[in-house]
Structure 1
Amino acid sequence: MHIANRLDTQRRLNAFYLREMAPAHRAHEVPVHPAEFRRIHEIEAMWNAYEESRIDLSDLPADAEGFAAWYFEVHKRHCREVAPFFDYIAEAAPAEAMAFYICLEEEVDGRFDDVVALAQLGLGGDMKLALAENFWDEMGNGRLEDMHTVMFCRSSAYMRDILDRAGIDVRDQVPASALKNGNLLLMYALRRRHAGRLLGALTILEHTAPWRFSRTVRGMRRLGMPEDVIHYHDLHIAIDAGHGRDLIRRVVLPLLADHPGLIREVAIGCLIRYRVAVDYYDGIARTLSQTGFAVPWRAGGPAPAAGAFDDQAFRREFPEAGLMEAS
């Protein structure tokens, strides 16, 4: 097993990244020793090399216009690949499997709002405004009770009660792929040399989220869960469609028009995030299967059926995502 896929490696990285982002009252925990940084950087180099070996960079576009067409195809392919898992969530998952999926995200501290804040560094003009608006949404537009972390905790508390009654402890079953999913963005955000990769990863994450959230909401309503529990997930259908649209239109494409030499790095961020996310959902499916749930898509199983994700339906359902002009 590659070192990047080991649970102990990803736990070590997550702990180190959270120390780097320690709040003021825990500033004494911030890593300062060169030897400790050196080992972390060695692990990151091996991880990056491994992820780069899994992606195809042979046909990258040469300019921003070409990148737009390339990106929309990657977006469509990514949704199709994870469609079987989210079909299960929407149409078949029992309450315990739904709760496991939601609570697993709580176990992985990816500090998403801090990642969005760090993504603004070095940008200016409308590009910075686009990310600032994204961050302000994460902050609940100035209302404490509407901060996304606060709303998510309300939802996850309900889900944790379901797992407690079923005797299921998520903490003992966190797959390495779940930690990788959060750590990737933290690594990109904390290592400024990966600033282009961070923008690529954030764009495809936010732009594919509306469909994932819509499938999750469908499953939660099928299970009769309370609307206040569903609210966080329902809210993100429209919000993330707008975030994804703004990231590609107002940040990535203008940046690449001015600096086409960045295309490779932004594309690497898109493609690695794509692969790590697929591994994440695969890891959830495998863990659920081992727990006794009949998940149809898991590691080692058949490849997801082509066309399980309807791109045209996505464009009609989420016009806010700005994909209508893509062909």
Structure 2
Amino acid sequence: MSTQSGLQGLHAEVKSWLFSKDFDGMPVGARNQLREQVDLLARNAFEKGDEAALTEAHRVLYVINMAQLTAPWTVERLNVGDPLFSQLKGILEKCWHQASKKKYAPIIDALPPAAQFREWVTQTVRSHPSNVTHPIFGFLRDKANFEQMREFFLQETPLEALFGDIIALMMPGVYGGIKLELAKNFWDEVGHAEDARVHRNMRFELMDYLGLPSNVYTDRIDLLIREELALVNMYMSMAMNRSRLTEILGALLATETMIPGRFEWQIEGWRRLGVGDKQLAYLLEHTTVDVEHANAWMGEIIVPLLERNPAVMPEIVLGIMLRLDTAGAVVDKLNDHVRGIKESSVGPYRGAHKVP
């Protein structure tokens, strides 16, 4: 596979090796070829901006990330601990990160003084086009039909299903206020140790009600838009690389600030279509707890961190901008995608309750 077209489907090959019983017998030449293919893919995707390469690069990264979150007792064989997969992941992430730093250099070079940071962040997040002012949210609230709402909810599954895992990955090796706020976030994610209130379970319960398969984010990534895979890969790249932990603190500041408003507009859309608040418990939960997290994230993590070490501001801002623009690409794509469908990617609703 030396041509661009030959790189399509590379994620399937990587996934097959991740779980192959024959992995120990993988020839050295095959390992080298796979590294070369991924290196070419990374350059085509993140340096040249080739659309097909970007899709394949994020699929490769995504299947490796999913393998890193796989419990070994759930599969016959798990090879993700082999250095080969760390090398493949590293090749893609390094090229992506270098491109990102180059893209945001003008913003990083013009940052405000630390004393003005809170105001700068608030204004930057509120004015970003991925916020609730994006036309997709007005469409969901006022016009989207049942199938279009299902599709939007389906496409957002990966990050929502994995958010608790991302928080957990951040916690080792950090202490004090950062540890405490991460622990509070995680405690809410796991429903205060009540299984029925675990956010992941609450989301899957709503997906079941809507006739959506909960395993779509692991078993049917071909149905998912590339932009959502990129969003998960962004968080995972930061959370699993300790040198980028400061970036994800910035990314999560933007996340917690935006989520409540986005969910409120979806709730209104579902209510318009006759879905009751009992079924919407997952969305309703996030309109309250995330407001608290956003305030605490700034006051208990970001501001104290900047007071101790103002030099980390560029990394925090890089994380903020990556999150805003990556999430912005998701809603841009979904705005076109959702409006243009007649039924969800997994097929029409076939459940028992009445559909408006």
What is the TM-score normalised by the length of structure 2?
0.74
Kindly state the Cα deviation for residue 271 of structure 1 after the two structures are TM-superposed.
0.5
CA gap 1:233/1:99 in 2 versus in 1, 3 angstroms: same
Deviations 1:258-310 (A, max 9, x none): 111111101100011000000011111222244259xxxxxxxxxxxxxxxxx
- Does the CA-based 8 Å contact 1:173-1:287 persist in structure 2? no
- Whole-angstrom CA distance in 2 between matches of 1:146 and 1:285: 31
Aligned counterpart for 1:49 among listed residues 79, 98, 103: 98
Structural mapping, 1:273-288, within 5 Å: 273-288=323-338
1:266 has 2:308 as partner: no
- Whole-angstrom CA distance in 1 between matches of 2:93 and 2:80: 16
1:22 has 2:70 as partner: yes
CA gap 1:101/1:272 in 2 versus in 1, 3 angstroms: same
- Name segments (4+ residues, structure 1) moved above 6 Å: none
1:209 has 2:259 as partner: yes
Structural mapping, 1:78-157, within 5 Å: 78=128, 82-83=132-133, 84-106=135-157, 111-157=162-208
Q: Give aligned-pair identity as a percent.
A: 24
Kindly state the Cα deviation for residue 193 of structure 1 after the two structures are TM-superposed.
0.9
Higher relative contact order (CA 8 A, sep 6+): 1
- Whole-angstrom CA distance in 2 between matches of 1:81 and 1:108: 17
- Whole-angstrom CA distance in 1 between matches of 2:221 and 2:307: 45
- Whole-angstrom CA distance in 2 between matches of 1:151 and 1:19: 23
- Does the CA-based 8 Å contact 2:161-2:200 persist in structure 1? no
Matching residue's letter, 2:45? I
1:13 has 2:61 as partner: yes
- Does the CA-based 8 Å contact 1:155-1:228 persist in structure 2? no
**Long gaps (5+) in structure 1:** 163-169, 294-327
- Does the CA-based 8 Å contact 1:107-1:171 persist in structure 2? no
Deviations 1:81-116 (A, max 9, x none): 552211111111111111111111225686211111
Compare CA radii of gyration and give the structure with the larger one. Answer: 2
Kindly state the Cα deviation for residue 26 of structure 1 after the two structures are TM-superposed.
5.5
- Whole-angstrom CA distance in 2 between matches of 1:253 and 1:149: 30
What is the TM-score normalised by the length of structure 1?
0.80
- Does the CA-based 8 Å contact 1:103-1:160 persist in structure 2? no
| Stretch deviating more after TM superposition (208-217 or 45-54) | 45-54
SS of match in other structure, 2:330: helix
Partner in structure 1 of residue 87 of structure 2: 38
Structural mapping, 1:112-261, within 5 Å: 112-160=163-211, 173-261=223-311
Kindly state the Cα deviation for residue 49 of structure 1 after the two structures are TM-superposed.
2.5
Kindly state the Cα deviation for residue 80 of structure 1 after the two structures are TM-superposed.
6.5
- Does the CA-based 8 Å contact 2:129-2:328 persist in structure 1? no
| Stretch deviating more after TM superposition (195-204 or 108-117) | 108-117
- Does the CA-based 8 Å contact 2:257-2:294 persist in structure 1? yes
User: How well do the aligned residues superpose, as a CA RMSD in angstroms?
Assistant: 2.4
SS of match in other structure, 1:291: coil
CA gap 1:178/1:100 in 2 versus in 1, 3 angstroms: same
Deviations 1:210-255 (A, max 9, x none): 1001111111111111222211101100111111111111111111
- Does the CA-based 8 Å contact 1:204-1:270 persist in structure 2? yes
Deviations 1:170-228 (A, max 9, x none): 86542110111111111111111110011111111111101001111111111111222
Kindly state the Cα deviation for residue 24 of structure 1 after the two structures are TM-superposed.
4.5
- Does the CA-based 8 Å contact 1:82-1:278 persist in structure 2? no
SS of match in other structure, 1:22: coil
Partner in structure 2 of residue 304 of structure 1: none
- Whole-angstrom CA distance in 1 between matches of 2:118 and 2:259: 18
SS of match in other structure, 1:111: helix
- Whole-angstrom CA distance in 2 between matches of 1:200 and 1:173: 30
CA gap 1:78/1:246 in 2 versus in 1, 3 angstroms: same
| Stretch deviating more after TM superposition (197-206 or 79-88) | 79-88
